[in-house]
Amino acid sequence: MKAYKRRDIQVTEDIIPLSLFKTQASKVLHALHETGRSVVITQNGKPSAVVITPEEFDRLREREDFMTAVDEGRADAKAGRVMGTKALEQALDKRFGKVK
């Protein structure tokens, strides 16, 4: 996983009303890719959506998948669904064949 540097939202630039987004979507998306900062779109003065880059979306999904796997592993360990090294080696050899 690639190192990630969080970019803080600039309140005066990155929070915009829906009407502005509708009329200047291309400009807003260009700025999004230039700065790497998310854009908050408001509707009736309240946050309604957040626009992020595809790279940020992928990073968030990878992090979510990783954290889910960690939680599942911790639950397995807590429930006693674990095996020792020898048992693991035997199970892997049975499933995939012995390493030469």
Domain 11-53 fold is: YefM-like fold (3.40.1620)
What's the pLDDT band for 9 if we cut at 50, 70, 90? Answer: confident
Q: What pLDDT sits at residue 75?
A: 97
Domain boundaries, the chain: 11-53
Q: What pLDDT sits at residue 72?
A: 97
- How do residues 34-70 score in pLDDT, each as one tens digit? 999 999 999 999 999 999 999 999 999 999 999 999 9
pTM, entire model:
0.70
| Distance (Å, whole) CA 49 – CA 5 | 22
| Distance (Å, whole) CA 54 – CA 39 | 13
Q: Which two tokens stand for residue 100?
A: 């030469």
- How do residues 12-26 score in pLDDT, each as one tens digit? 889 999 999 999 999
